[in-house]
Amino acid sequence: MSEENEPITRIITPVHVEYTYTPGVASERFLRGVREGKLLGGACDACGRVYVPSRGACPRCAAPTSEFRELSDKGTVITFCVVRVPAENIDVELPYCTASILLDGADISFTGLIQGCPFEEVRIGMRVQAVWKPEAEWDFSIGNIQHFEPNSEADVPFEDIKEYS
Ligand SMILES: [Zn+2]
């Protein structure tokens, strides 16, 4: 079969979009907190669950999350994966480990890179601590946290975190 008769199975069509992100009240509060090195969760007015970042309403009750609480930058690994596939918009050397982390005081997990230990040591229930960029580099971005790394605290038993898995 000549090249001109071969079926076209793939085309590349680069697209570039610029847009202005309007975070809304709850996300703005979260981003302003991050700018100061604080992780602010929003507590549901009805059930009390704490979301980080909060979107302004509880996904379970649809009630507002009016109260903001400063959360710890320590947490527990709920689940994780080792990424070996490159992505154009992620500037992290392969392979890397990303995890769902339940910050202390939160009721929803938060995604973060895990570094500071071999992948083989990352496990569900492992306690981790945020490693922040130098304060002079802080911006309105969750990128202020470079990664999470293990701390010396004992693992959390699966029974205590299974509802978040
Ligand atoms: Zn609720």
Number of domains, the chain: 2
Boundary residue ending a domain (47, 71, 95): 71
9 within a domain of the structure (yes/no): no
User: In the prediction, which pLDDT does 21 show?
Assistant: 82
Residues 132 and 79 in one domain: yes
**Domain containing 110 — which CATH number?**
2.40.50
Boundary residue ending a domain (42, 71, 100): 71
User: In the prediction, which pLDDT does 1 show?
Assistant: 61
How far away, in angstroms, is 107 Cα from ligand 1 center? 10
User: In the prediction, which pLDDT does 113 show?
Assistant: 96
Cβ neighbors of 127 (< 8 A, separation 6 or more) are: 74, 75, 76, 77, 150, 151, 153, 154, 155, 156
Residues 96 and 51 in one domain: no
How far away, in angstroms, is 70 Cα from ligand 1 center? 18
Instruction: Check if the beta carbon of residue 82 is closer than 8 Å to that of residue 114.
Output: no
How far away, in angstroms, is 17 Cα from ligand 1 center? 35
Residues 102 and 134 in one domain: yes
User: In the prediction, which pLDDT does 50 show?
Assistant: 97
Residues 82 and 151 in one domain: yes
How far away, in angstroms, is 53 Cα from ligand 1 center? 14
Residues 89 and 34 in one domain: no
33 within a domain of the structure (yes/no): yes
How far away, in angstroms, is 51 Cα from ligand 1 center? 9
Instruction: Write out the chain's pLDDT in tens, 165 residues.
Output: 677 889 999 898 989 899 898 889 999 999 999 999 999 999 999 999 999 999 899 999 999 999 999 999 999 999 999 999 988 888 889 999 999 999 999 999 999 999 999 999 999 999 999 999 999 999 999 999 999 999 999 999 999 999 987
How far away, in angstroms, is 54 Cα from ligand 1 center? 11
For 38, the domain range is 20-71
123 within a domain of the structure (yes/no): yes
Boundary residue ending a domain (41, 71, 101): 71
113 within a domain of the structure (yes/no): yes
Q: What token pair was written down for 100?
A: 């769902």
User: In the prediction, which pLDDT does 102 show?
Assistant: 97
User: In the prediction, which pLDDT does 70 show?
Assistant: 97
Residues 142 and 103 in one domain: yes
47 within a domain of the structure (yes/no): yes
What SS3 class is residue 31? helix
How far away, in angstroms, is 76 Cα from ligand 1 center? 22
CB neighbour class for 132 (10 Å; exposed up to 12, middle 13-18, buried from 19): middle
